Amino acid sequence: MSTNSEVDQVVPASAPAPAGVDEHELMGVAMRPVVQTPRWWWPSVGVLSAIVVVGLVAWAVQLADGVGAAGYNNQAFWAIYEANLVAFIGVSYGGAVVSAILRLTNAAWRAPLTRIAEATALVTLPVGMLFIIPHLGSPQKVWELVWPPYWNLSSPILWDFFAVSTYLLATLVFFYLPLIPDLPLARRWLSTEATGRRADACRWLYRVLGGGWQGTPRQKKVLHLSIGLVAIMIIPLAVSVHSVLSFAFSSSSRAGYLETIFPVYFVVAALYSGVALVVLMVAAGRRLFHLEAYIHPRHFVRLGFLLVAFGAAYLYLSFTEYLIDGYSGTTDNASWVRQILVGRYWAPFWFYVVAAGVLPLLVMAIKRTRTKGGVITVSALVVVAMWVKRLVIVIPPATEPLLSSPATPGGNLAGTWGTYHFTWVAISITVAATAAIPLLLLVLFRFVPILPVTEMAELATETAPAEAVAAPAVTSAVLSPAPPGWGAATSLGRYGVAPVGTLPGTSSNGLSGPASEQRKWDR
């Protein structure tokens, strides 16, 4: 292990931490998932990996038997895979776009949430992109999307592939840039607090990814400008990606898909479900890695306000779509709307209306339910209900008959509506993709700090009131046994770094310093 003097020469010390903020201690909390292995970690990874393996087996069965093994037929040519493609890519936008919006508006309270939100976007987008493979049926057809001689420039699928690939690159950059200043700090912390091969490997990784970061004013200026530019670019990129994805539906001539409102509809739906997923991931990270001192209940309430803003917009767009199609009186549109409102698809549609339309508005409107638990509950309902809503968008138009007869009311042949039945193959692949998201997050945070330490320290410096700056600073980190549920000390992490709330002189809400200073993370 390197000596402290050697570390100081290799890894520059950070700027002085603001009053009441010990960067070394904060880094210890952020590095807790890296250096400590809680008792639940390996069982969780094992279960999630087993679910993913079952999904791969189901896909192998589909390759052998065809897409009919997933319930597809001549009367239901699009179904669960297309809904999954839209839903999984959609939820990935929430983390990146919300983080970008909060950065551009300079909302200081965002700081403890950004790393988890951006990581959620980073791992969810590739999972959603992979649904194009079972959707195509034959994996070799993916080659036609990447090899120019096969390109069909008139196909919305091709342009959607270009847009999603570009957005994936932007999401990766958006996650990496704010991580750069934390890497030297993390390397310095590992050099003083951890030993062993894994600690050496992590220090090597941080040295490579950290590049030549020295924390000079010029480097900080360039980095802040770069993050700002990417934050500006990622918003129109997200809008364009889901708009182009909607073109695959709205450019067809089939009733239910031929909707000019779809581009805006899809974008708002992506933001709505994406914010809900961020709430769930932040809640899980807060609980599992003991971040209560930095992620407060009021963070969830503020995310809840963002959630209901997008939810109200999406509810209005849904009302607009069904009103116009139903009021038009055309045979195909009226029949499709009738099947959704009172016909065979009434149950999933009204489940969406209640779970993702009405309940979030009621929960945030009533003061007693406007709490952390209330926001987490409605976020879970929104994630599920918005996936069900994607099924309502995809399946009914795909099963609607195109033949007509004057012998039946409304012109549609009686009993000719197609059907789609879920099979174990389609369900297994969907559940495997869902399990892959927390699995990838657990693995990712074994290598990177879960909190943006440098950003939190900088924002605390900018927003700390005068009386807090004048207060005595906490200058030493207090080491305590690992939190409940975490494994015994290892050669990598011999100590569980106590949260700020365990330091002497801290208040009940878990932040050190006087009461006036405790507001710095909430601005």
What pLDDT, on a 0 to 100 scale, did the predictor assign at position 474?
37
Enumerate the H helices of 251-358 as residue ranges: 262-288, 297-328, 331-341, 346-352
Instruction: Spell out the long-range contacts of 511-518 with Cβ–Cβ below 8 A and sequence spacing 24 or more.
Output: 511/20, 511/293, 512/20, 512/474, 513/19, 513/20, 513/468, 513/471, 513/474, 514/467, 514/468, 514/471, 516/465, 516/467, 516/468, 517/19, 517/20, 517/464, 517/465, 517/467, 517/468, 517/471
Residue 324 falls inside a structural domain = yes
- Position 4 in a domain: no
pLDDT digits (tens, 9 = 90+) for 190-222: 888 877 788 888 899 999 988 888 888 899 899
pLDDT for 11: 40
Strand partners, 497: 479
pLDDT at residue 508, rounded to an integer: 35
pLDDT at residue number 75: 82
Amino acid at 360: P
Q: Distance from CA of residue 37 to its chain's centroid?
A: 24
Alpha-carbon distance of 322 to 219, in angstroms, equals 53
**424 in a structural domain:** no
> Which residue is it, tokens 């390197």?
2
Domain count, the chain: 1
107: left (phi over 0), alpha (psi -120 to 50) or beta: beta
The conformation of residue 486, written as its DSSP 8-state character, comes to B
CATH number where 339 lies: 1.20.1630.10
Classify residue 258: in a domain, yes or no. Answer: yes
pLDDT at residue 119 in the model: 94
519 within domain boundaries: no
Provide the pLDDT for residue 409: 52
Task: Judge whether 479 lies within some domain.
Answer: no
Digitized pLDDT (tens) for each residue of the chain, 523 residues in all: 444 434 333 444 333 444 445 677 888 889 989 988 899 999 999 999 999 999 999 999 999 999 999 999 888 888 999 999 999 998 888 788 888 888 888 887 888 998 999 999 999 999 999 998 898 888 888 887 777 777 877 777 788 888 888 889 999 999 999 999 999 999 989 888 877 788 888 899 999 988 888 888 899 899 999 999 998 988 888 888 888 888 888 888 888 888 888 999 999 999 999 999 999 999 999 999 999 989 999 999 999 999 999 999 999 999 998 888 888 767 677 888 888 998 888 999 999 999 999 999 999 999 999 999 999 999 999 999 999 999 999 998 888 876 654 544 544 444 577 788 899 999 999 999 999 999 999 999 999 999 998 888 877 766 555 444 443 443 333 333 455 455 443 434 333 333 333 333 333 333 333 334 344 444 4
Range of the domain at 206: 32-404+440-462
In a domain, 434, yes or no: no
Alpha-carbon distance 332 to 514, whole Å?
A: 66
For residue 245, tell me if it sits in a domain.
yes
pLDDT in tens, 100-131: 888 888 887 888 998 999 999 999 999 999 99
From the number of C-beta atoms within 10 Å of its C-beta (0-12, 13-18, 19+), residue 509 rates as middle
Please report where in the chains the tokens 């700020």 appear, as a residue: 500
Q: What's the start-to-end Cα distance of the chain, in Å? A: 40
